Structure formats: C-alpha cells, structure tokens
C-alpha cells in the first residue's frame, strides 16, 4: 500500500506539473499540444545535467542545477511554439504535433551522438543517473519521499495564486477569453501569450524530468515519455482548467498509472492473471471514458487556439 501511495504521488506530480503548464498556456489563448515534446526535451536537459554532474557535488547542488536546466530546456523548446503560433499565426495543432515528433527524434539523435562519441560501440539512446537520482529521495519510515512531490504541491498553490490573485494572472486569462477587450485597456496580448507559453514550457520541462526519475535510474529517449503529455492534457480538461480540480484529476490518473508498477504486490490483483500491458493501458482507457462523459460540460477559454489579430473585433 505504501508503494502504491508513493508511485501515485510521483506520477500525480508529473501530471499536475504538465497539466498546469497546459492550463496556463490555454488561459493565455494558445493551445499547447506540444507538451509531450517539451517533456522529452526538458527530461533530456535534466538527464544530461545529471550525467555530467561531478560526484563531489552536494545533493542541494544536484537538485537545483538539474531542475534549472530542465526548466531552461523546456522554455527554449516551447519558444518554437510561441514564435510560430503567436508571431506567425501558424496552426497551433499542427505546430504542437510537429514539436512532439521532433522532440523525441532530436533527443534520440543527441543522446546517440554523445554515447557514440564516448564509446563507438555504444549507439544506444540511454542515459544513466544512478547516484544523482538519490539526491531527490528521502526515506521516511519506508516511504520514499521525492522532493518533486513537494515542488508539485507548491506549483499548484503558486499557479492558483498567480491566476486568481495577481494582476498578471487576470490579464493572462483575459487574453484567453477576449484578447481584443484586453488590448483595449492597454494589455499587450502578444507579450501575455508569450509569457503563458514560456511558463508552460518551464512546467512541461520540469514534468519531463520528474517522469524519467520516477522509479528508474536510466532512460531510453527513443521511448519518449509514453504519452504522458497527452494524458496531462486529459487531466487539464477533466480538471476544467482550474488548478484545484487539476490536482484531484492528477491523483486519479496517477493512481491508475501507479497500479501498473505495483499490482503484483496485491494478492487479489495478482490472482486475476491480467497481463501487465492492461495495467499500463489503464490510465489512457480511463481518460477516454472520463472525457467521453465530461467533455460536453467542459468550458475552455473562449479564445484558445485563435490567433490574435489587432484589427479584428
């Protein structure tokens, strides 16, 4: 049971961070379908930072530098979405899909190039971070607490405060509801949308780092992040673009994802002899069912996905 709780919280942390990123971007009026690719690039940045971290580095330095590099990688990669969709008014769905495809491909090529340069016989897309990962863990009476759990909780509180209690947040949401009205009172819609996408990239990159350190000490980047970016979008929609609801949705989907890691520890589930692949599919099946019954009641920001044009009213 402790193991189930542990994995539920870490997977919920991934989903909540990435879903919050999508939430902020869509509140600004830009649909970020590229979260999957942003997660991969953020994970790549964090993994490379851990790979080249000297063993003499303290746990605090490992945590801070790894997180900062993952966030920076996510921000830089998300800027491709921003410049394409905000400045050049490209189709947001197509650009997001392209970022997802390019993210996995680029990460795979970069890691293979690094590995083969170090050892010509090593052409894998795998990076190991065995001792570095331990910096993020604290054992509390058999429960493996991960600092990312705390970071995700703080991010939920911070985003909720940002959106509903600050001038910046209110202006951001105005740009996603009626950008022309926001512009009429002096709000720079382009800047607000850029800010929304870049914050989304920061949270998505951080979420990617959390995902590849959840229970493993190495990662093959050709595997991507197993659709977690899209699952985070489902969490965002089910959570009605509200941080509080996103938290509960992330816990729900995180629990179903955690079952695939720990189901063998429950005698009842093990006796059913259900293939492990079914448990791996559970969160995605549940997301389809949940969205089928709730998407009709969803209320997305009115101007999301619509390029801003100063001349339109």
Tell me the pLDDT tens digit for each residue of 84-97: 999 999 999 999 99
Taking 70 as the threshold, does the pLDDT of residue 287 lie above it?
yes
Angle at 235 between CA 28 and CA 16, to 5 degrees: 80
> d(Cα 270, Cα 216) in Å, to the nearest integer?
23
Tell me the pLDDT tens digit for each residue of 206-248: 999 999 999 889 999 999 998 999 999 999 999 999 999 999 9
Tell me the pLDDT tens digit for each residue of 155-183: 999 999 999 999 999 999 999 999 999 99
pLDDT of 266 reads 74
- What is the β-pairing status of strands 126-128 and 218-220? antiparallel
* Phi, psi of 144, deg, nearest 5: -90, 90
CA distances from 25 to 99, 117, 311 (A): 15, 38, 23
Tell me the pLDDT tens digit for each residue of 112-161: 999 999 999 999 999 999 999 999 999 998 889 999 999 999 999 999 99
Q: What does the domain layout of the chain look like in residue ranges?
A: 2-226
pLDDT of 313 reads 61
Of the given ranges (103-107, 124-128, 270-274, 304-308), which has the lowest mean pLDDT? Answer: 270-274
Question: What is the token pair recorded at 184?
Answer: 């009429």
Q: Which of 27, 111, 22, 37 is nearest to 77 (CA)?
A: 37
**Other beta carbons within 10 Å of 282:** 19
Average pLDDT on 197-213 reads: 97
Average pLDDT on 66-91 reads: 97
The answer to whether the pTM exceeds 0.85 is yes
> d(Cα 179, Cα 194) in Å, to the nearest integer?
13
Residue ranges of alpha helices (H) inside the chain are 2-28, 35-51, 59-82, 92-118, 130-133, 147-165, 167-177, 179-184, 189-212, 228-238, 243-262, 267-271, 276-294
Question: What is the token pair recorded at 210?
Answer: 């959390």
Taking 90 as the threshold, does the pLDDT of residue 279 lie above it?
no
Question: What is the token pair recorded at 275?
Answer: 């293939």
The pLDDT confidence band at residue 309, using thresholds 50, 70 and 90, is confident
- Choose between 22 and 142: higher pLDDT: 22
């Amino acid at each position: 049971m402790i193991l189930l709780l542990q994995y539920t919280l870490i997977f919920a942390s991934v989903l909540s961070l990435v879903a919050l990123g999508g939430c902020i971007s869509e509140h600004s009026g830009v649909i970020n379908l590229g979260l999957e690719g942003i997660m991969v690039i953020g994970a790549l940045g964090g993994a490379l930072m851990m790979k080249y971290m000297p063993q003499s580095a303290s746990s605090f330095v490992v945590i801070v530098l790894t997180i900062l590099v993952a966030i920076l990688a996510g921000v830089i990669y998300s800027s491709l979405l921003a410049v394409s969709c905000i400045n050049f008014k490209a189709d947001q769905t197509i650009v997001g899909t392209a970022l997802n495809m390019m993210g996995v491909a680029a990460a795979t090529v970069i890691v293979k190039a690094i590995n083969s340069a170090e050892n010509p016989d090593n052409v894998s897309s795998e990076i190991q971070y065995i001792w570095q990962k331990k910096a993020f863990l604290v054992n509390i009476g058999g429960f493996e607490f991960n600092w990312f759990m705390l970071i995700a909780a703080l991010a939920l509180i911070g985003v909720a405060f940002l959106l509903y209690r600050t001038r910046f947040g209110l202006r951001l949401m105005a740009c996603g509801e009626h950008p022309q009205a926001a512009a009429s009172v002096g709000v720079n819609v382009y800047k607000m949308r850029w800010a929304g996408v870049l914050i989304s990239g920061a949270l998505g990159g951080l979420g990617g780092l959390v995902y590849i350190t959840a229970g493993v000490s190495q990662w093959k980047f050709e595997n991507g992040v197993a659709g977690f970016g899209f699952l985070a979008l489902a969490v965002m929609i089910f959570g009605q673009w509200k941080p509080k609801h996103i938290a509960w949705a992330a816990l729900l989907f995180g629990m179903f994802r955690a079952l695939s890691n720990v189901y063998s520890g429950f005698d009842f589930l093990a006796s059913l002899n259900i293939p492990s692949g079914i448990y791996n599919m559970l969160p995605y099946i549940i997301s389809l069912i949940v969205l089928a019954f709730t998407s009709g009641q969803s209320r997305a920001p009115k101007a999301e996905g619509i390029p801003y044009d100063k001349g339109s009213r």
